[in-house]
Chains A and B, each alone.
Chain A
Amino acid sequence: MSRAVEAVYADEWGRIVATLIRLTGDWDLAEECAQEAFAQALQVWRRDGVPSRPGAWLTTTARNRALDRLRRRATESAKLREVARMAQIEPPPLGPGDGEPAIPDERLELMFTCCHPALSTDAQVALTLRTLAGLSTAEIARAFLVSEHTMGQRLFRAKNKIKNAGIPFRVPPDHLLPERTAAVLAVLYLLFNEGYSASSGADLVRGQLTGEAIRLARTLVALMPDEPEALGLLALMLLHDARSAARLDGAGDFVPLEEQDRSVWHRAEIDEGVAVLDRALRRLSPGPYQVQAAIAACHATAARAADTDWAQIALLYRQLAAWSANPVVELNRAVAVAMADGPAAGLSIVDELSESGALAGYHLLPATRADLLRRLGRTAEAAAQYRAALDLATTDTERRYLRRRLAEAGTDP
């Protein structure tokens, strides 16, 4: 029976919390009553069986709990009006029925509120995981390597700011929608990358974040079916996630794309990612996530590393660079150009980047330069660049990779 509750938890938690926030305006009350409803489901469903519409059962139960609590508080009088307002709203019927009324889905309002730009990024991420994904404060704290107390304070302050500063619970009006949607997408992508960059078994909780990010992106796509960038982000996540099993070797070391065992890539996830990307591209409104997904698709659909369409990837990076003057994008373009047109062509882009000073201190700049020099047979220069990269690398995994390359270049580290 607990499995039946678990099965609906992921889908229903955010929906119930969103509904209760809309009804009561009280974020803590919403979470507490959602929690109680799931606890009650554990008992009642064991006794009476799983209701035909578990989501409606949970929503009604949580709503009634909230109503009870507010009634008890209402002896202080001012809240009475709130209770009266809530009581007027018809709960969805519990029994099976043909004309099933739709349970209101206010998760989109909740997403936009959690990701409001007046909240810090840390707060946006924490609120999204707590209220939409239903992770506990302890789980979120573990995922972000802070104490439970710190994370509790962060959530507390964020909810207070929403209330005190008057951050609205709504889908923004049209003139604000593009930038606010970008903020929601950025939070989901950040979540995904937090999980994706987690490498070892000890980082299991962090690793779960990729799954939560994908699930939230699916929800967003369902709620904003006309937003091509939401589709683009979902496609990007799926295409990256599909390759996760091949990213690290037995020792936990990073395996470069061209050396990955493509047979362990998740075929069904790649197919889905490509299909989602196609859906996005058909809307003829390209954006950075769609282009990044297209790049990921070029990699994921190449049967062998040698089959990769580097010319296409170089073009896509050029498009990406046109939207944001991000030197890291330019560095990636240099790699693609080097693969398509030869290392000398790539090296001239890298040289320009070096001269601009935009990536000073970033270990991938000398590392990329070293790779290109090595392929041009300029071994001594390559070794010097690998050493420069080693000095700048921040993780052991990166350092091991660079030492290996340095050894291959034929000189001692």
Chain B
Amino acid sequence: MKYLMLVCVDEPFPADAKLDPEAWVTEMDARGVRLLGNRVRSASDATTVRVRDGQTLITDGPYAETKEQMGGFDIIDCVDLDEAIEVASKHPIARYGMIELRPYWTE
């Protein structure tokens, strides 16, 4: 099953935080679990697009103003939710922020 992993943060990291996901990426790539992923720029660099009555409306910022913001994402392919939880729990950001797992929509 494929899951979208939203890697999120809700407050500034402690100064000594170990955030480098390098080892995690290497391990999960080697396991064949991680299909792709990347860090993304902060919410202040986000642009939100809507089309209403044929008009394209552009706004500066994220679609929802929340304390939690996505800092990156990964697509992982796991046998079940337990494996996805294990993979997510090993991500360094899980210790400081949080990770949301969204299963792919499949019929």
Contact = CB atoms under 8 A, between A and B. Distances in A.
Interface of A: 116, 118, 164-168, 172, 176
Contacts of A166: 1, 3, 78-81, 84, 103
User: What 5 pairs between A and B have smallest CB-CB spacing?
Assistant: A168-B80, A166-B1, A166-B80, A166-B81, A165-B103
A216 B82 CA distance: 25
A168 B84 CA distance: 11
A336 B100 CA distance: 45
Contacts of B82: 167-168, 172, 176
B85 interface: yes
Contacts of B84: 166
Interface of chain A: mostly helix, strand, loop or mixed:
loop
Nearest to B103: A165
A321 B80 CA distance: 36
Interface in B70-93: 78-82, 84-85
Contacts of A176: 82
Majority secondary structure, B binding face: mixed
A172 B80 CA distance: 12
Contact of A118 (B1, B78, B79, B81): B81
Nearest to B102: A165
B101 to A, nearest CB: 8
B85 A164 contact: no
18 contacts: A116-B81, A118-B81, A164-B103, A165-B81, A165-B103, A166-B1, A166-B3, A166-B79, A166-B80, A166-B81, A166-B84, A166-B103, A167-B80, A167-B81, A168-B79, A168-B80, A168-B81, A168-B82
A116 B103 CA distance: 16
Contacts of A167: 80-82
A117 to B, nearest CB: 9
A31 B81 CA distance: 24
A116 B84 CA distance: 14
Contacts of B80: 166-168
- Residue from A116, A164, A167, A172 whose CB has the most chain B CB atoms within 10 Å: A164
Contacts of A118: 81, 85
A340 to B, nearest CB: 43
B98 to A, nearest CB: 14
Nearest to B1: A166
A166 B3 CA distance: 10
B100 to A, nearest CB: 12
B35 to A, nearest CB: 16
B102 to A, nearest CB: 9
Given A118-B85, A167-B81, 12 more contacts: A116-B81, A118-B81, A165-B81, A166-B1, A166-B3, A166-B78, A166-B79, A166-B81, A166-B84, A168-B79, A168-B80, A168-B82
Q: Which of B78, B79, B82, B101 has the most CB of A within 10 A?
A: B82
B90 to A, nearest CB: 13
